[in-house]
Each structure stands twice: as C-alpha cells, then as structure tokens.
Amino acid sequence: MLSRPAALRNTVLTAIDKLGRRSRTLSRPLKIHLEVNDVCNLKCIHCPREDPTIPKNTGHMKMEVIEALRPSFRTAAYVGLIGNGEPFMHPRLLDIVDIVAAEGAVPSIISNATLWTDAKLDRLIAAGKSIMNISFDGGTKETFEWVRRPAVFEDVVANMRRLRARREAAKSPFPVTAMISCLFKEALHEAPKVVEIAAGCGVQMIHFQCAIPYAQAFQASVFTPEDRPRVEEALALARARGAELGVRVHFHSQWDGERPRLNGGGVLCPNIMEQLHIDMHGRPRFCCYWGPEDLGNVVDTPVKTLWNQPKFQELRGRFKRGDVPGLCLSMPCPNLRPHSPREILGEAWRLAKEFLRD
C-alpha cells in the first residue's frame, strides 16, 4: 500500500537532483530541521552554547512558523526538532509534534531527557511514528555529571527506562529511541559502558561522535587525528558489546585528515540538496554550521521559492564544480562525501520502501 505518494514522489525527485547535481532542484526539501528554541536547562561543558559568540536564551519558535511550513511537511520524510537548546522547554513542543505527524512526516527530537513526564511521553507515543534521540555522555555517574551539568545521572537513566515502560504499556514501537554520545579523552574507555546503559533502557542505537571544542575549557579533552587508533580500539569494544546486547553502534567520523579527499570535483552536500534548516525566526540557513544569511523567511515566502532562490542555487553550483567553500572544509561536518550514484540510489530505495511498506 502506498501511504504517502507526495513524499514518495519527492524522494524520487531528490534522487534525480542529487544524481545530476542540479543547482535548481525539481524536488522540495526531503528533510527539514527546525531550531525550535535556544533555551536549555543544562550547561554541558562541550556544548556550542558555551561558545560566547553563539546567540542563546532568546526564546522559542512561534507557531506561525510551523503553520507556514505545514505544506512542506507533507512532502518531507522527517522533521528534526532540534536547535541550540532543549526542545522540551518549548511550551508547545508536543503541539508541533502532532502537526508534523498529522501531515505524515516523522518528527525526530534530540533531548537531554531531564524534563520528561508520563503525560508528555504518553502524548508523544500517541502521535505515532517518531524518533527520540537522547544526548548522553559518559558511562559513569561521575563522568556524566561532570559533562552534563547539573543533570543527575540516576534521574536521566530513570527517564529513559520510563520511556521504555510507557511505550511497552501502550504496545507501541514508537518513538524509536537512539542515543547520541560524545567521545572525549576522559571517557573513551567508558564507551562499552554507554552501550550497556543504552541496552538496559531499551535504546536501539547509539551514534558516537568525537566531542568538538566549542569552549576553551574543554579544549584539552578533545581528540586529534593522532588519537584515532585508540578511538577506533574503543569503538571496536563498544561495537562488540553492542552486538552482544542488540544495540547498533555507529560512529560519525569527523577527522580532519579525511577532508582533503573532498577538495576537488564530485562532492555531495546533502544539506543543500535535501535538507532545509529553519532557524527559530523562520529564516532558512544553508546548514547548522553556517551563520545567518539573507535567504528570506518562510512566514512570508513559500518554501518552494526559498529552496531555489539564487543563493541556494549558487552554493549548489559551487559543489558541483568541486569548489567547496572553506567554511565547509573547516567544519567537523560528517555529511560531506564524494558524489556516489550508487549511494544516492541506495538511500532513495531504502526510503521509498518505507513509504511502500506503510
């Protein structure tokens, strides 16, 4: 049965755009990332919020932005509810989830799991298909609480178990749960323990990534390319433990040494080919690493117009020519990769099967 014909059609058009590296796309955004707020209840020492140059604590995305994007949710596969804060501090987060789900896209939240209640989790479960990504660093109470201040290790673990229990009580597989965990020198040996915690809380997948030194105080804790062998050794142990416990372990590599292979022709940037990033005020961004650009606003301009406005087309053209912007090469973005028709078709087929299976 074909559940979402508009999204399936958009999946095919996105693949055509990526194969041809079109500057002016036939498709609409297949993935949408919403910066729902920039307010948080934690002060994690490795967080971008600790960079004094990054704006924060200015508020929440207004519902008029969500309503303006509603037609775009119908052709999107998923909608990320993220930002430079904790989404559960948005007073209408679950209303946003309901709108996204009602239009057929899958809402995906990144949360620190400190503000959950039974009522909130039950409403999220009732929304149907969704993804919950839990930020969780370190495999011990000491490490976790050193990084994620002032969160309490036992409370967060209890909340993750609470989500599993509420989901099981509702006999629902949703939200699918994943964990996002940063690796840094003080906690590298704890990676297998993180896997064990995830398994005990019903988390199906872990995305490990190397911490980024946004704050000067955390600089000494991050890895350099010379640390790669011991990072990979720790990941091998984590993957082995995951295989034993049924937790899938992924690593999003961000090593500087992998960037030179992108300096030439045939580079694909998914952010500008399929992902639309919208800031808290409704303004598009090229991706989460780019600062504000004069790209318009979804409140007063249709997404289909913004998606193909001249600056988006110009940047897509640069990637097609192999003229990768210096900012992109300097950022620890795991998404940049060589243009591979085989990978593009594989991704499109996997997503299309989801729409055909529903």
* Structure confidence at residue 2 (pLDDT): 57
Q: How confident is the model at residue 167 (pLDDT cuts 50, 70, 90)?
A: very high
Q: How many whole angstroms separate alpha carbon 152 and alpha carbon 155?
A: 5
pLDDT over threshold 50, residue 260:
no
* Structure confidence at residue 135 (pLDDT): 98
The count of other CB atoms within 10 Å of the CB of residue 321 is 11
* Structure confidence at residue 254 (pLDDT): 64
Return the C-alpha torsion angle 261, 263, 264, 268, nearest 10.
Answer: 80
Using only the alpha carbons of the chain, give its radius of gyration. 20
Q: Is 134 helix (H, G, I), strand (E, B) or coil?
A: strand
Domain count, the chain: 1
Q: Which two tokens stand for residue 128?
A: 């149907």
Q: How many whole angstroms separate alpha carbon 87 and alpha carbon 42?
A: 12
* Structure confidence at residue 355 (pLDDT): 83
Q: How many whole angstroms separate alpha carbon 15 and alpha carbon 273?
A: 9
Q: How far apart are the first and last CA of the chain?
A: 7
* Structure confidence at residue 252 (pLDDT): 81
Residue, of 252 and 128, whose pLDDT is higher: 128
Q: How many whole angstroms separate alpha carbon 284 and alpha carbon 156?
A: 33
Q: Which residue has the tokens 């960037």?
A: 259
Q: How many whole angstroms separate alpha carbon 37 and alpha carbon 81?
A: 9
Residue, of 193 and 1, whose pLDDT is higher: 193
pLDDT over threshold 70, residue 351:
yes
Q: Is 106 helix (H, G, I), strand (E, B) or coil?
A: strand
Encode pLDDT of 98-137 as tens digits.
Answer: 999 999 999 999 999 999 999 999 999 999 999 999 999 9
**Closest Cα to residue 77, out of 40, 44, 45, 103?**
103
**Closest Cα to residue 235, out of 304, 296, 183?**
183
The count of other CB atoms within 10 Å of the CB of residue 231 is 20
Q: How many whole angstroms separate alpha carbon 327 and alpha carbon 269?
A: 13
* Structure confidence at residue 51 (pLDDT): 84
Q: Which residue has the tokens 């406005």?
A: 309
pLDDT over threshold 70, residue 255:
no
Encode pLDDT of 169-202 as tens digits.
Answer: 999 999 999 999 999 999 999 999 999 999 999 9
Q: How confident is the model at residue 262 (pLDDT cuts 50, 70, 90)?
A: low
Q: How many whole angstroms separate alpha carbon 107 and alpha carbon 135?
A: 17
CATH number, residue 269: 3.20.20.70
Contacts of 159 (CB under 8 A, 6+ apart): 113, 114, 116
The range of the structural domain enclosing residue 84 comes to 3-356
Strand partners, 33: 80, 277
Q: How confident is the model at residue 316 (pLDDT cuts 50, 70, 90)?
A: very high
* Structure confidence at residue 3 (pLDDT): 67
pLDDT over threshold 50, residue 257:
no
C-alpha pair distances (Å), 225 with each of 251, 253, 256: 15, 11, 7
Encode pLDDT of 51-89 as tens digits.
Answer: 888 889 999 999 999 999 999 999 999 999 998 999 999
Cβ proximity of 247 and 198 under 8 Å: yes
